[in-house]
Amino acid sequence: MTKPKETKCKVCGCYFVKTISSMQKVCSPKCAIALSKEQARKKREKQEKAQLKERKKKLLENDRGHWLKALQKEVNKFIRLRDKGQPCIACGAVWKPSFQASHFIPQGRSSFLRFDERNIHSGCIRCNLFVGGGNIHGYRPRLVEKIGEQEVQWLEENQHRIKKWEISELKELIKVYRAKIKELEE
Ligand SMILES: [Zn+2]
Ligand SMILES: [Zn+2]
């Protein structure tokens, strides 16, 4: 006679012979209760996680700051591609892949100009982050050379202008810039 096949209990790990059904996963009623409790807990956890994710998504959807940042990311990426190979706008250093999108009028000063392509050019990390004021004294003359005195003056005249960007507008521009990036990447 062959020995009856033994199965390992999912809960306590002991070996048992199936007596109830071929689907039996546990050795005893006690372990069956423990198993169903564990399954219920896992299900609850999964539901809670899904709800949290949904709530976060809704919160982000209505968070203007989130969309402002998201658009800036796309615009900056576009600027880096547009200016690829060009020297630093502020000091003239030879182009490097680490160059960043650098604002002439800082984005914190003018919400109106923060996504304006005339106001953002590729520059070295040193000028963008470490030289006081984004190395503005080096930036201005090179910007004049690039876009003309008139445009630079226009930027300066509008440097304190405020614009309240609507979320719908930001989303629309994200699409526009993603398309522009795609075009340059091809
Ligand atoms: Zn068991
Ligand atoms: Zn520089």
How do residues 166-176 score in pLDDT, each as one tens digit? 999 999 999 99
- Which whole-number Å values give the CA distances from 30 to 8, 37, 69, in the listed order? 15, 11, 54
| Ligand number nearest to the C-alpha of 123 | 2
Dist. CA 25 → ligand 1 center (Å): 9
Dist. CA 152 → ligand 2 center (Å): 19
Structure tokens at 130: 């470490």
Dist. CA 100 → ligand 1 center (Å): 61
Residue 20 has a pLDDT of 82
Mean predicted confidence (pLDDT) in 107-132: 91
| pTM assigned to the model | 0.73
- Band of pLDDT at residue 186, cut at 50, 70 and 90: confident
| Residue type present at position 36 | S
Dist. CA 93 → ligand 2 center (Å): 6
Dist. CA 92 → ligand 2 center (Å): 6
pLDDT tens by residue, 13-56: 999 998 888 889 999 999 999 999 999 999 999 999 999 999 99
Q: Which residue has the higher pLDDT, 1 or 63?
A: 63
- Which whole-number Å values give the CA distances from 172 to 113, 130, 144, 169, in the listed order? 17, 33, 30, 5
Residue 1 has a pLDDT of 58
Residue 77 has a pLDDT of 97
Dist. CA 32 → ligand 1 center (Å): 8
Dist. CA 154 → ligand 2 center (Å): 23
Number of Cβ atoms within 10 Å of the Cβ of 110: 20
Residue 21 has a pLDDT of 85
Q: Which of 36, 39, 79, 58 is nearest to 180 (CA)?
A: 79
| Ligand number nearest to the C-alpha of 11 | 1
- Which whole-number Å values give the CA distances from 9 to 28, 36, 40, 43, in the listed order? 9, 13, 18, 21
- Band of pLDDT at residue 84, cut at 50, 70 and 90: very high
